[in-house]
A and B are shown apart, each in its own frame.
Chain A
Amino acid sequence: MLRKPDSALVIAGHGSTLNPDSAAPTYDHAETLRRSGLFGEVHCCFWKEEPSFRQVLHLIDRDDIYVVPNFISEGYFTRTVIPREFELDGPVTQRGGRVIKYCDPVGNHPRMTDLLLHRAVEVAPEVDLSQTTLFIVGHGTDLNENSAVAAKREVERIQALGRFGEVRNAYMEEAPLIGNWHEDSAYPNVIVVPFFISDGLHSYEDIPVLLGISGESLGAASVNALEVFKRNPYQLRGRTLYYASAIGTEPLLADLIAEQVAAFDQQYGVINPSAAAAVT
């Protein structure tokens, strides 16, 4: 089992200046991992909130630092923004007696498939999956992000397991549109899982409106907004519809964050800070 008492873990999220819940899953996973004691210390940082990517290294005690992006896929933030803001040289950066190890984003972990399955079964525990269409919903038209590619990959993996009647991709802003869910599903039961790292307007409001289970603006983070996940199942358009919160809010994601650290060590070997001190 992974134990890193001499290492710090930094979970790097997007955050938001508008949505009070955007940072919540990142904080939740950090608190879970802090309680686990797997790492000597655990911190968060954000692109849009504080501590920022630029600040976070100042609040860390340890010299051995793993950075795991809490992003759903590789893309602009993981390849450009985070490396630039942390001034990384590559997967391993040695600077000032410290070693900064840049791990793959959590969404790349192969067990994301298990989490999506877990979330789908959890939201619809009594359902005959063979009579169910599972939709994995992405944003679509994301600026140079690969979340759509990642979502398609997950759909193919889940489909290959043969547990669901069918597994389909859908998007908010490009075909196949989630708004056409009733036409694009062949089974009496429908489960919808948003492929996002946090809940926000998309999962509270936009997707529910497109699904037809909410016709009004509820406002992010309000008690009413959270109710949309609690009213399952919805009887709509001749189907039984189950709607889950964003996959990034799944508590088991914390395990995957830790496993990305283990995967880094496996790929690059364990590099300790004393080696960095000898270099700098």
Chain B
Amino acid sequence: MRDLTRFLSEWLADGGRRIGQVAITPIATGWELRHVDNLGRTDLPVKTSAEDARHLANLDDTGAFRPLKTAPNLPHGWCLQLPDVATVRVALEYFYPAMVGVAFSHRLGKLAPVSLRVTLGRQTGMYRVTQKITDEQARAMVDGFCAGCLKHRLWELEEPNATPAPAVAKAFPLLCQEACNLLVAEARKVVKSTAT
């Protein structure tokens, strides 16, 4: 059995203090999470439930929906105080879904990056058409679309990304093992726009 809470505990014990745009600080009663831009603020409303993170992460500062949680648009103006690492883990699943587990699998050597061609190649239904995207279109799409995401891409068009993934350090790595559905949907738009 894996133990992601222990993995997270060890990271925090080693001085890990940041994941994406969330700063994590030890406090007398446990751990405090807030936007990295709000570290000095003393006027923030305090939340105390890990489930509050779900609602904090759902909309950006303008009230717009955040379908991609690793986009750099985490809202400001909140403070989340949690009693232990187990609840921090739950909160992080809302702020940065799957990122702790993906990094853990990567450390264990159990994360297999999937190239964009393989991801598109298994699509069916309305996304099957994405297989028609040209290499040139795909590279331009990835360069543009993925620029709005904090994750480090472990994949390329045809093969794994040769650039080594960032290690688990004071800033926790956000790793992308394969194209997300948002990018697949974007590929459909690219192909459809070419066809018309």
Q: Which residues of A contact B (CB under 8 A)?
A: 15-20, 27, 31, 43, 47-52, 54-56, 58-63, 76, 80-81, 84, 96, 143, 221
Note all chain B residues with C-beta closer than 8 A to A17: 67, 181-182, 185
Residue B2 CB within 8 A of the other chain: yes
Query: In the complex, are the beta carbons of A59 and B180 less than 8 A apart?
Result: no
Inter-subunit contact B65/A50 (CB<8 Å): no
In the complex, how many residues of chain B place their beta carbon closer than 8 angstroms to a beta carbon of chain A? 35
Q: Which residues of A contact B110 (CB under 8 A)?
A: 96
Task: Known contacts A51-B97, A52-B98, A56-B98; decide if A61 and B65 are in contact (CB<8 Å).
Answer: no
A-B contact pairs, 13 of them (CB 8 A): A17-B185, A18-B65, A19-B65, A20-B58, A50-B180, A54-B114, A54-B177, A55-B102, A56-B98, A60-B2, A63-B1, A80-B124, A84-B122
CB of B142 closer than 8 Å to a CB of A: no
From A20, A31, A59, contact of B65 by CB (8 A): A20
Is B59's CB within 8 Å of the partner chain A? yes
A51 CA to B180 CA in the complex, in Å?
10
Asked if B125 contacts A76 (CB within 8 A), the reply is: yes
Q: How far is the CB of A275 from chain B (nearest CB, A)?
A: 15
B contact residues around A16 at 8 Å (CB):
67
Q: Do B125 and A59 have beta carbons less than 8 Å apart?
A: no
Interchain CB contact under 8 A, B98 and A18: no
Contact B65–A54 (Cβ < 8 Å): no
Do the beta carbons of A54 and B97 come within 8 Å of each other?
no
Residues on A with beta carbons closer than 8 Å to the beta carbon of B125 = 76, 80-81, 143
A59 cross-chain contacts in B, Cβ below 8 A: 4, 93, 97-98, 100-102
Contact A58 B67 (CB under 8 A): no
A20 contact set on B, CB distance < 8 A: 58-59, 65
Contact of B124 among A48, A50, A61, A84 (CB under 8 A): A84
Q: Is B11 an interface residue (CB 8 A)?
A: no
Cβ of B136 under 8 Å from chain A: no
**Interchain CB contact under 8 A, A51 and B1:** no
On chain A, the residues within 8 Å of B114 by CB distance are 54
Known: A20-B65, A50-B68, A80-B124. A58 touches B111 (CB 8 A): yes
